[in-house]
Amino acid sequence: MTALKFVNTSFGYTGRPVLHDLCLEVQNGEIMAVVGPNGVGKSTLIKAASGILPLTNGDIQLEGTSISSMSLQERARKVGVVPQALHLPGTFTALDVVLMGRTAYLSWFEHERQEDINRAREAMERTGTLEYVERYVGELSGGEQQRVLIARALAQDPDIMLLDEPTAHLDLHHQDRILKLVRKLAAEQGLAVLMALHDLNLVARFADRVALLSNAALHSVGEPREVLSADLLAEVYAVNIHVFPNPKNGYPIVTTAD
C-alpha cells in the first residue's frame, strides 16, 4: 500500500527552488533511501515530507490524504521524524525525550497518562534504549542519542518514518546497529521509511529502493543494483566511479576511481 506519495511536488526556500516536479511513492514496509550530492536537497525533502515546508507546487499525500489539509497534530500521528542528533538539549532524560513523541496525543495542559508512558517504554524497548531511561541524553553517545530519537519517533505511533542522515558522525558499529534497527521496524511494523543517506554502500545494503537526486530534480529511482551504477553515479556526482559486487554477499560496493 502506498503510504507516502509525492505528486509533482515542488518546493524551495524564498526564490530558490530546491526540488522541482518530484513524483515518488513509498510503500508500507519499504525503505526508500534518498541520495545525491551535497546541497541537492535531501534534508529539505525530508522536511517537506513532514509537512513543515510550504510547497510551491504539487502535493504530498499521506495514505491518500493531502498533507496540506491535515493539522500538525494529525500529521504527527502519521509521520515520525528522526532528526540528526546534533544540538539535542542535554538536560532531559531519555524517557522525557521519548515521551515528547506523545505530544500529538495530548493537549497543552495535559500530563502524560499511563498509556503514554507505556507507549514510550515500548518504543524504548524496541530500540534497545530502555537501559537509558533515567539517563540524561546529554550524557549519551551519538549512536545512543540517535536511537533515543528513533524511539521518540516510534512513540508517535506513526505509519511513516522519515530519517535525516541517521548514521552521520557514527562509527561502523553504530551505523550498522541503527540501520538494522530501521530495517527491523520497517519489516515488523510495516513502516514506510524515507531516509536521507550519504553513504552509498550503506544504501546498497539496507535500502529497498533508492531515489537519486540531481540538479533540483529526481534523476532516477529504482532498486540499489539498478541505480547504483557507475555510469549514473559518475554523471550525478561528477567523479569517476567503480562499482563492483561484494564477493561475500553480492551487494554493490561503490568507490571513487582515478
Partner 1 sequence: MEQSSASNNNRSQGARWAPWVLLILVILTAILNIGTGSVTIPPGKAVQILIGRTGLLEIGKDWPGTWETILLDIRLPHTVLIAMTGMALAASGSAYQGLFRNPLADPYILGIASGAGLGAVLAMTVEWPYELRNMFFIPAAALLGAVLTVILVYSMARVGRSTPVSTLILAGVAVSSFMSAISSLIMILSKEELHRAVSWLFGGFSLGGWEPVIASLPYYLVGIPLLMSLGRPLNVLQFGDDQARQLGLNVERFKLVIVVTASMIAAAAVSFSGIIGFVGLVVPHVMRLLWGSDYRKLIPLATVGGAIFLLLTDTVARVVVSPSVLPVGVVTSVIGAPFFLYLLRKTRREIGYW
C-alpha span between 119 and 177 (Å, rounded): 22
Identity of the residue, 104 or 221, whose beta carbon is nearer to partner 1 in the bound complex: 104
- Distance separating alpha carbons of residues 12 and 99, to the nearest angstrom: 32
Q: How far apart are CA 80 and CA 39, in angstroms?
A: 23
- Cell triple for 103: 505530544
CB burial of 162-173 (b: ≥16 within 10 Å; e: otherwise) equals bbbbbbbebeee
Q: Does 114 bind partner 1 (CB under 8 A)?
A: no
DSSP-derived secondary structure letter, 136: B
Q: Comparing C-alpha atoms, which of 45, 60, 63, 53 is closest to residue 8?
A: 60
Shortest CB 81 distance to partner 1, Å: 4
Work out how close the CB of 19 gets to partner 1 at its nearest, in angstroms, rounded to a whole number: 18
CB of 70 vs partner 1, minimal distance in Å: 11
- Cα 132 from Cα 42, distance rounded (Å): 31
Q: For residues 81 and 123, which CB has a smaller minimum distance to partner 1 in the complex?
A: 81
Report in angstroms how near the CB of residue 91 gets to partner 1 at its nearest: 4
Shortest separation between residue 110's beta carbon and partner 1, angstroms: 8
Give the range of 15-23, 57-65, 94-102, 175-183 binding partner 1 by CB under 8 A.
94-102
Q: Looking at beta carbons only, is 38 or 109 nearer to partner 1?
A: 109
Give the separation between CA 179 and CA 64, rounded to whole angstroms: 28
List binders of partner 1 among 186-245 (CB under 8 A).
none
Interface residue with partner 1 among 106, 130, 234, 253 (CB under 8 A) is 106
Q: How far is the CB of 103 from partner 1 (least distance, A)?
A: 4
117-156 footprint of partner 1 as x/- string (CB under 8 A): ------------------xx-xx------------x---x
Nearer to partner 1, 91 or 114 (CB): 91
Complex with partner 1: residue 89 or 245, whichever CB lies closer = 89
How far is CA 173 from each of CA 142, 179, 181, 229, rounded to the nearest angstrom? 12, 10, 12, 27
Q: Which residues have CB under 8 Å from 155's CB, separation 6+?
A: 80, 98, 99, 101, 102, 116, 119, 120, 123
Work out whether 52 is an interface residue with partner 1 (CB under 8 A): yes
- The 3-state DSSP class for residue 79 equals strand
CA–CA separation, 248 and 185 (whole Å) = 25
187 contacts 31 by C-beta, under 8 angstroms: no
54-93 binders of partner 1 (CB under 8 A): 71-73, 75-77, 79, 81, 83, 87-92
Binding site for partner 1 (CB under 8 A): 47, 50, 52, 71-73, 75-77, 79, 81, 83, 87-92, 96, 100-101, 103-104, 106, 108-112, 135-136, 138-139, 152, 156
